[in-house]
Each structure stands twice: as C-alpha cells, then as structure tokens.
Amino acid sequence: MIGVISYLVFFATVASILAIAVLGLNLHWGYTGLFNGGVVAFFGAGAYGTLMLGGAPQPHLGGFEWPWIFALIGGVAAAAVLAWIVGLLTLRLRHDYLAIATFGVAVAFENTMRNAQGFAGGAQGIRGFERPFREFAGNGLGWNLLYLALVLVALVATYLFLERLARAPFGRLLRAIREDEEAARSLGKSPARIRLTSFVTGSAIMGLAGGLYGTFYAFVSPQDVLPILTFQIWAMLIVGGAGNNRGAVAGAFLIWGAWTASGWGLSRFAPVDWQLYAGSIQWVLIGSVIVGMLMWRPEGLFPERVGEDRPQTGRTT
Amino acid sequence: MKKLLLGGAALMALSVGFTGVTTGSAQAQQCTTKIGAVLPTSVDWGRPIAEVAQFAVDQVNAAGGAGGCQIEMVLRDTQVDPKVGVDAARALVDLDGVEVLLGAVSSGVSMPILTSVTVPSETMMMSCCSSSTAFTNLAEQGETKGLFFRTFATTGVQAAVGAKVAADQGWGKVAILYKNDDWGQDMARIIAADFAEAGVEVTGSVALNDAQPSYRAEVAQALSGQPDAIYLALYPAEGTMAVREWIGLGGTQNMIMANSLKSDEFKENVGLQYLAHAYGTDTASPRAESADAFVEAYRARFEAEPTGPGLANSYDAAMLALLAMEAAGEGATGPQIAAAIPRVTDPEGTPITADTAGFAQAKEVLAGGGTVMYQGATGNVRFDANGDVSAPAVIWKFGESTIEEVQYLPLEEVNAIMSDG
C-alpha cells in the first residue's frame, strides 16, 4: 500500500510540475494567441538556471551554491530574460511563423547545452545538486511529500495568478489582441508591448516549472530539453482546453497519466510476446488519443468560457 | 519508512506468491520474484537489448530460478525520455516492489533514475550500456552507495586500445568523428588524449548529431585535415551514412571503430569491400572454452550473430544481477544483492559459464558457501569500487560471415596500456 502512495506522490509531483508549464503555455496560446513552439527552451532555461546557481562547484560554469529558493528565482529570471530577448526578435511574427522561429530557438538551446561543455556540462548535463530540505525531510517518502506540497503551492499560486489576470482588464486586453489586433490598436493599446509582456510572463512560468523539475531530479541534461517535451505540453493544453486554466491543469494530469499508465498497463497485461513492442504500441495509443481529441472535441475537455461573470463582454470575432 | 516500504514489498510478494500457486510452476517452486528493466524498447537498437536480457532470465528460470524463486522480468520502455524512464523506474520500485533494476541505456536517463529513484529507495541498479564518466565521479563521491554497476567497459579501455591500433598500423594522422552525446563526447575527449600520448596527430574532431539527412559537411570538415585514418565513435545508423559519404568524398579506408559499430547492419550497408582496413575495438571474452557458451546459445535462440551494440553487455547485466540474487538468498534487499556481487565475480572462485548449466552449477557452489567467477559474454567480468567493469580487450575486423579477431589483449595488458595513457 505504501508503495502505491509513494508512486502516487511521485506521479502527482511530476504532473503538477508539467501543469505549471501548461499554464504558462495557456497564457501564450490560450489567452494571447502566441504560437510558442519552443516551450522547452524556457523550461530548460529554468532548469539549467536553477541547477547552475544552486549546485555544487563543477568543472563547468555554475555551482554557486545559492540557497535553493534564490536559485529557483534565478532560474525563473533566466527564462524571463531569454523570453525577453527572443520576444523582441520574433514577436512581430504571426502564428505559424512564430511557431517555427520559437521551435528554432528551442533546438538552438538544446544544441548549445549539448555542445557547450565548459558552460553547461555538455551532453553529460549538470548534476551535483543538493536537493533542499534534505536535512530534516530525509531522502525517501518524507522528502517526496514535502516537495509535492511545495510544488502544489507553486501550482495553486500560478493558477490563482492567471485566473486573476484573465478576469482583470489585462486579460481582456490579451483576448482582444488575440482576436483582432487592429481593433485593439484602434483603441489606443500597444499590442507589441502587451504581447511581449504576455510572452515573458508565460515563459517565466515555464521557467518555474523547469526549475522545480531540475530540483526534483537533481539533474538536467540535454536529453531533458528535446522537442518531445514541447509536444507533450502542447498535447496537454489541447486536450485540456486552450484558454481555460482549469483545463490546462486537467490536461496535464490526464495526458501524463495516460502516458505513464499506458506503459504500466502494457507491461502488466500485454502478452509476453508483445512486451518488446509495448513501447511502440504506447506511442500509437498516445497518438490516437490526441488525434481523437482533435477530431471529436477540438475545444478540449474544458472549453474556454468567455465573460460568463461579465454578461456584457462577448467574444469578439 | 524503509520498513514500511519493505512491508509493502512483502505484501506484494505474498500476493505474487498466490498467483504462483495457482499457475503451478514446473520446478515445484511456489513463488515468483520480479525484477525491473527500463530499456528503450521503442528504439530500433533498444529492442534487441531487452530481448537478450529476457533471454538471460529464461535461462535462469530453466535452471530453477534465482534466490529460490522463478524470476519475472517486468519490462518498461524509456522512450529515451528521462521523465518517462524515471516514472517507469518509480513504478517498478513502488508498485512492483523490485529490488533489482536493469537499465537504462542512455546515461541521461540512467542518471536521474539513479539519483532520484534507486539510491533513495535502496534498489540495486545494473546498467548494460550507460557509459558516461559522470557515474564514476558520482560513485567516487559515495553518492551511489555501492548500488550502481555497469557492464559497459569504461570508454577508457576502448580509447586506449584504439590508440594502440593507430600506433601499430603506423597511422600518424587521425581524424575523429563522434556521436554528439555524452558517450561520444567522452570518447572523443579520451581518445584524443590517448592519440597524443601515442604520438598520433589528431587532425580534427567532428561531432555528428543524430538523425541528420546528411553528414556531408561534417565529413568534409574531417577530411580537410588529410588524415591517414579515421576514428569512428558512432552508432550504426549515422555511422553508415558518414562512412559512405567519407568514402564517396575520397577519404581513406583506414578506419578504427568503437564497439558500437560491431554490427551486421553497418557491415552490409557500407559494404565489406570498403572495410578491409577497418579495425574495431571491444572488450573480449576470456580465453576459455566456456566463453563461447553465450554466442552459441544466442545463435540457437535468435538464429543470428550477437553483434548488435550492447547485446553482450545487456546479457551480462541480467546474468550478474540474477547470480547476485541467488548468492544473496531469498527475499534479499537491494543493498544485500549489491553486496553479493563480489561473491559472483570472484577471480579466485569456481569458473562458471554463461548459460543454464553454468547458472545451475553456480547455485550449487553458492549454496555450499563458495564463490564463483562468472565468465560472461563480455568477458571475465570484474567490478571496481565504483561499479565500473574491467575486462580483457580485443581488436577485431569484419569478415565474410563473422567478426574476425585480430589480436587479443589480456586484462594485464589492457591495464598496462591504460596506466601508460
């Protein structure tokens, strides 16, 4: 029984961390209409930033042994700075062009980390990070429970912040830009600045997820920042429902749940001859879920609800 | 906390025991012990690695199982994704209650599994193929708690022998092409130092990223130094493409290959006529009749030569883990099993072969309180204090139908070359 609890705590931690990243993407895509194809770069900046600032000294740059919370903030700041630079350069691009440009940024990020051995450890990645609070929480289930609590606090805080943002005038402004930029401009708003603000904020949230992820594994390597992660986070948002924070969180838990449960189920119930192909079958299952979702419920499990608490504001199309 | 975990594992073992009763095993045993395997089965070269681990488990079960029980290997795919791999390892440890975990292949997956799953939960981890020098560093800092082993000889052995090939052949200038991952970066760094040590000039060292449609630019760059030979630290897929382009652009056919290219796929796709001056390096089986056991058994089971990357390593990883489980006895925990490893890799112990008969013999010797020396598919495996393996080495060439041995280097000689370098 304790094993099941231990596993569920672990699962909830990873899913919550991913949910934070999905919330960040929801601010980009769901609210502002920014097609960020490079989620993993900002996630990675947070993870690398946190581990480099908070880790023990290594042959490469980093290992400043900052207290964990400052290292995490530093990781978030790293993601925000990266987003600000990328945003200045690319936010004039629309939709698919922005997607391609940000995807390129993510690939460049991964390749930089893979090759810059003196900077970030190269393909071996960064290790030697002391997980926080180990002195009194130990190394086992106790620590995992404590860390889950911390991650949940971060998740709830991010969720409340975005909910507040979405109901605030700023949220309406984001939607206005998403739906019709010309109209927003005609009302005296500056879409370029607002888009950049949204992009940096969302990326900082992804950086927070990355920092929590790096702390949890006490390790990060270029293999953690492959494009598959961008794809996973997008799948979570699409299945959950873009433009709805509750959907973003639910999507993260559902997709990550399906991802892991399918592997577990196949290892347990598939015939022995099929075991070797379970990995491939799992890919097919995951792909089918996403395709099915796009075909039969493209708005996601929790569709966007616009203005239900303010009857006079309808969706501008 | 650990006690509670163990309690959970015991409960699970009980329930498993019941299913054992209902199915009724032929060996009159009434229990099944699970071991975990996290391997990239959705990747083309990962599937045979899992297959051969299962093969070792089947052989052990035919000899009556290990630690008094039949063994069931629960296999999970890592998708070469650290998140997925760690989750799989977590599930195996927490839900299936395994005390032994085989895997993973990529160091980038093995490392987070080690630091966040197997060490905190005190599970023994035996990797077939993770090569990163980071594990040695981690072990030296005492952070693996003696729970991590790997049957993949450190990159150092291969690099030292590779440099010896260049020196012996009189190749004064060598270019290096390497796979751009942790293994390749380590290889390129260490072999460059070894070449310098042996008085061989390195004209260029070029990284190849996975899955590119062409490596023409990289190959041209390596070619520009006009080397006498080329060193290849690559996997078969990109190795084939790079070597084809290399020869197409007029590059030399003097090649030195890491053991990852010891594959029929590479030989057939490049063409044997171009590989006459291609020398490979690898760790070797000991010079004993028993060492052929694995090759013969593999041929009989899979109707193919065991020449893919990591096959012999994966087999030995599984066999050694199971031998240690046998030595540690029924219901042993991860640390107890890890502590039993020296009893099955004792150079003074009774030599045993890598097959069902060998395992059965080991059971008798171990039951009598003795120790055994496992003569595995990668050789006479011995671990140092960091869980790294040392083994004899061999220089090989591609032949018409098999791999031909050019030179055998006993362990003493390998150690001598290594300490020179």
Query: Which among A7, A127, A223 is the nearest to B94, CB-wise?
Result: A7
DSSP A31: I
What does DSSP assign to residue A220?
B
A141 domain-assigned: yes
Q: Is the pLDDT of residue B176 over 70?
A: yes
For residue A81, pLDDT over 90 is answered with yes
> Is residue B246 domain-shared with residue B134, that is, in the same domain?
no
For the residues B191-198, what does the mean pLDDT come to? Answer: 91
Contact criterion met (CB below 8 Å) for B379 and B392? yes
Q: Enter the DSSP assignment of A60.
A: S
* CA nearest to B372, candidates B351, B353, B341, B342: B351
Interchain contact B91–A (C-beta under 8 A)? yes
Rounded to an integer, what is the distance from CA B421 to the centroid of its chain? 23
What is the band of B421 on the pLDDT scale with cuts at 50, 70, 90? very low
Give the CATH number of the domain where residue B266 resides: 3.40.50.2300
Q: What is the mean pLDDT of residues A103-123?
A: 90
N-to-C CA span, chain A: 53
B296 within a domain of the structure (yes/no): no
- CA of A263 to nearest chain B CA: how many angstroms apart? 7
Q: Which of B44-48, B110-114, B187-191, B281-285 has the lowest mean pLDDT?
A: B281-285
Side chain identity at B380, as an amino acid letter? N
Distance of residue A79 Cα from the nearest chain B Cα, in angstroms: 21
Do residue B343 and residue B399 come from a single domain? no
Domain count, chain A: 1
| Residue with the two structure tokens 């099993």 | B337
- Distance from the Cα of A221 to chain B's closest Cα (Å) equals 6
Rg (CA), chain B: 22
Mean pLDDT of B207-219: 91
Query: Which residue in the block uniquely carries the two structure tokens 């990163």?
Result: B132
**Res B291: pLDDT:** 56
B329 and B367 share one domain: yes
Q: Which residue has the tokens 């690319």?
A: A90
- Which of A89-93, B15-19, B377-381 shows the lowest mean pLDDT across its residues? B15-19
Please check the confidence at residue B290 and state whether its pLDDT lies above 70.
Answer: no
Inform me whether the pLDDT recorded for A18 exceeds 60.
yes
Place B13 in a pLDDT band, splitting at 50, 70 and 90: very low
Do B162 and B269 lie in one domain? The reply is yes
Over range B39-66, report the average pLDDT: 90
Q: Quick one: pLDDT at residue A57?
A: 82
**Statement: residue A116 has pLDDT above 60:** yes
Which helix (H) or strand (E) is B203 found in, with range?
strand B201-208
The answer to whether residue B301 sits within a structural domain is no
Asked whether the beta carbons of residue B88 and residue A263 sit closer than 8 angstroms, the reply is: yes
Tell me the two tokens of residue A191: 């879409």
Q: Residues near A261 by Cβ (< 8 Å), separated by ≥ 6?
A: none
Q: Cβ contact (<8 Å) for A125 and B109?
A: no
List the Cα angle B51/B108/B257 in 5-degree steps.
65
Note whether A23 and A246 are within 8 A (CB). Answer: no
Q: State the pLDDT at residue B123.
A: 95
Taking the C-alpha atoms of residue B102 and residue B81, their distance in angstroms, rounded to an integer, is 16
If pLDDT is split at 50, 70 and 90, which confidence band does A83 have? Answer: very high
What's the CA gap between A154 and B13, in Å, rounded? 38
pLDDT of residue B12: 44
Across the interface, do B51 and A279 touch by the CB < 8 Å criterion? Answer: no
Where does the pLDDT of residue B29 fall: very low under 50, low under 70, confident under 90, or very high at 90 and above? low
Q: How confident is the model at residue B289, as a pLDDT?
A: 55
Per-residue pLDDT band at B272 (split at 50, 70, 90): very high
Asked if residues B282 and B158 have their Cβ atoms less than 8 Å apart, the reply is yes
Beta-carbon separation of B134 and A260 below 8 A: no
Q: What is the pLDDT of residue B382?
A: 83
Q: How confident is the model at residue B264 (pLDDT cuts 50, 70, 90)?
A: confident
pLDDT at A314: 45
pLDDT digits (tens, 9 = 90+) for A257-285: 988 998 888 888 887 777 788 888 888 88
| Burial (0-12, 13-18, 19+ Cβ within 10 Å), A179 | middle
The torsion angle over the Cα atoms of residues B264, B270, B273 and B278, rounded to 10 degrees, is: -80
Answer yes or no: is A195 within a domain: yes
Q: DSSP state, B205?
A: E
Residues B129-135 have a mean pLDDT of: 86
Query: Environment class of residue B342 by beta-carbon count within 10 Å: exposed (0-12), middle (13-18) or buried (19+)?
Result: middle
Residue A259 falls within a domain, yes or no?
no
Tell me how far apart the alpha carbons of residues A248 and A238 are, in angstroms, rounded to a whole number. Answer: 8
State the residue for tokens 């500056």.
Answer: A190
Residue B139 within any structural domain of the chain? yes
The residue ranking higher by pLDDT, B29 or A190, is: A190
pLDDT of B282 over the 90 cut: no
C-beta of residue B231 within 8 angstroms of C-beta of residue B259: no
pLDDT at A102 over 80: yes
CB proximity under 8 Å: B 152-181 to A: 180-181
Partner A contacted by B140 (CB < 8 A)? no
Domains identified in chain B, total number: 2
Q: d(Cα B330, Cα A44) in Å, to the nearest integer? A: 44
Please choose, from the candidates B138, B169, B150, the residue with its C-alpha nearest in 3D space to the C-alpha of residue B382. Answer: B150
DSSP for residue B175: E
pLDDT for residue A248:
95
Q: Does B80 touch chain A (CB under 8 A)?
A: yes
B414 in any annotated domain? yes
Q: What is the pLDDT of residue B33?
A: 93
The answer on pLDDT for B45 being more than 90 is no
* Cα four-point dihedral sign B197, B202, B208, B213: negative
The reply to whether B270 and B414 lie within a common domain is: yes
Q: Report the percent of chain B where pLDDT is more than 90.
A: 51
CB contacts of B40 in chain A (<8 Å) are: 279
Q: Is B263 exposed, middle or buried (0-12, 13-18, 19+ CB in 10 A)?
A: buried
End-to-end CA distance of chain B: 47
Asked if residues B152 and B387 have their Cβ atoms less than 8 Å apart, the reply is: no
Q: Which among B163, B152, B134 has a CA at the least distance from the CA of B259? A: B152
pLDDT value at A287 more than 90: no
- CB of B36 within 8 Å of any CB in chain A? no
Q: Are residues B160 and B142 in the same domain?
A: no
Of B292 and A58, more confident:
A58
Interface residue B339 vs chain A (CB under 8 A):
no
Domain enclosing residue A164, as ranges: 2-224
Q: Pairing state of beta strands B403-409 and B393-398?
A: antiparallel
Residue B197 has pLDDT above 70, yes or no: yes
Q: Is residue A307 part of a domain?
A: no
Does the reported pTM lie above 0.95? no
**How far is Cα B221 from Cα B329, in angstroms, rounded to an integer?**
56
Average pLDDT over residues A77-89: 95
Q: Which residues does chain A have within 8 Å of residue B94's beta carbon, measured at their own beta carbons?
A: 3-4, 6-7, 10
Check whether residue B246 and residue B172 sit in a common domain.
yes
**Distance of alpha carbon A110 from alpha carbon A226, whole angstroms:** 7
Domain region containing B261: 155-284+391-420
Mean pLDDT of B211-232: 93
Exposure b/e, B122-143, CB count within 10 A at least 16 = b: bbbbbbbbbbbbbbbbbbeeeb
Contact B7 A259 (CB under 8 A): no
Question: Is residue B184 within 8 angstroms of chain A, CB to CB?
Answer: yes
Listed residue (A54, A106, A61, A58) closest to A79, CA to CA: A106
pLDDT digits (tens, 9 = 90+) for A161-189: 999 998 899 999 999 989 888 888 898 88
Per-residue pLDDT band for B254 (boundaries 50, 70, 90) equals very high
Taking residues B168-178, what's their average pLDDT? 94
- Reported as a pLDDT band with limits 50, 70 and 90, residue B122 is very high
Mark yes or no for CB contact B1/A122 under 8 Å.
Answer: no
Classified as helix, coil or strand, B385 is coil
Per the domain annotation, does B326 fall within a domain?
A: yes
In this prediction, residue B293 carries a pLDDT of 75
Residues facing residue B231 across a β-bridge: B176, B256
Distance (Å, whole) CA B175 – CA B232 = 9
Same domain, yes or no, for B43 and B122? yes
pLDDT of residue B420: 60
pLDDT of residue B389: 84
Mean pLDDT, chain B, integer: 86
> Which has more pLDDT, B74 or A96?
B74
Q: Which residue has the higher pLDDT, B379 or A314?
A: B379
Q: What percent of chain B has pLDDT over 70?
A: 90
Predicted pLDDT of residue A298? 87
